[in-house]
């Protein structure tokens, strides 16, 4: 049964890979030609450096998820993270986050609401870290035009959205769910740990993301 599932997953992955090329109208022959012209040592070096980002991304997800679920495995979270990144790269619509929410729900019984909050925090922290790194780079090497103001705007919006997420969204979600529950009594979610996520992992997550950018 496991072998059959593995074969099915492989076929689906290959199909998604092919559909991505078709959707983006990418000339596969041209891509292969460009790859063949690249220095093999530089290509291997780039792949090795890029591979170091995977454990860091996994650890960032691990410390975020651990704030709401104590009994988790770093190896399992790593596998979920790799699947998330692979699906993002192989699908034109970046379906990695839905797949990540599905596996967190299936393996650790983490609600889609909490999983969604974790994913949003990851994205916002990554944007914030990238913006901070860009400002640092611009101040050192100089940057003219609209780039620096745009980066500063990204920082402001990231902090603003994070603030809303940490302090407001759980209450808003509770109100919405309360209204829905009046009509559909079977709907139940647990949001009591939502605020704890931010304060326990914001700083280490930003540092980890900056490490990824530097690598």
Q: Are residues 60 and 152 in the same domain?
A: yes
Rg value, the chain, Cα: 20
Counting beta carbons within 10 angstroms of the beta carbon of residue 127, is it exposed (0 to 12), middle (13 to 18) or buried (19 or more)? Answer: middle
Contacts with 177 (C-beta within 8 Å, 6 or more apart), sequence order:
187, 189
| Number of domains observed in the structure of the chain | 2
Check: CB of residue 152 under 8 Å from CB of residue 135: yes
Across the chain, which distance is largest between two alpha carbons, in Å?
Answer: 63
Q: Are residues 44 and 28 in the same domain?
A: no
Q: Are residues 5 and 105 in the same domain?
A: no
Q: Are residues 176 and 103 in the same domain?
A: yes
For the chain, the helix, strand and coil percentages under 3-state DSSP, each to the nearest 5: 80, 0, 20
Q: Are residues 83 and 153 in the same domain?
A: yes
Structural domain harbouring 47: 38-214
Model pLDDT for residues 91-149, shown as the tens digit of each residue: 666 678 888 888 888 888 888 878 887 887 788 777 777 777 777 777 776 655 556 66
Positive or negative: CA dihedral 175, 94, 104, 109: positive
Q: Are residues 19 and 44 in the same domain?
A: no
Check: CB of residue 121 under 8 Å from CB of residue 110: no
Mean pLDDT (the chain, rounded) = 69
Q: Are residues 20 and 85 in the same domain?
A: no
Rounded CA-CA distance 10/63 in Å is 30
Q: Are residues 108 and 18 in the same domain?
A: no
Q: Are residues 83 and 30 in the same domain?
A: no
Does 184 score more than 70 pLDDT? no
Q: Are residues 88 and 164 in the same domain?
A: yes
């Amino acid at each position: 049964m496991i072998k059959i599932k593995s074969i099915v997953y492989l076929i689906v992955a290959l199909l998604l890979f092919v559909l991505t090329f078709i959707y983006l109208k990418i000339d596969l022959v041209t891509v292969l030609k460009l790859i063949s012209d690249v220095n093999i040592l530089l290509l291997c070096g780039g792949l090795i450096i890029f591979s170091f980002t995977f454990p860091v991304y996994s650890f960032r997800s691990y410390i975020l998820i651990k704030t709401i679920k104590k009994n988790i495995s770093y190896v399992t979270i790593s596998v979920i993270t790799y699947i998330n990144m692979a699906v993002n790269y192989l699908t034109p619509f970046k379906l990695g986050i839905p797949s990540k929410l599905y596996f967190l729900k299936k393996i650790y019984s983490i609600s889609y609401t909490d999983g969604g909050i974790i994913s949003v925090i990851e994205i916002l922290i990554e944007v914030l870290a990238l913006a901070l790194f860009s400002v640092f780079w611009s101040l050192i090497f100089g940057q003219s035009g609209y780039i620096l103001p745009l980066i500063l705007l990204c920082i402001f919006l990231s902090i603003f959205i994070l603030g809303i997420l940490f302090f407001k969204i759980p209450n808003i979600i509770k109100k919405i769910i309360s209204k829905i529950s009046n009509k559909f009594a079977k709907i139940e979610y647990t949001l009591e740990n939502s605020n704890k996520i931010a304060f326990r992992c914001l700083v280490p997550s930003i540092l980890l993301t900056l490490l990824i950018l530097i690598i």
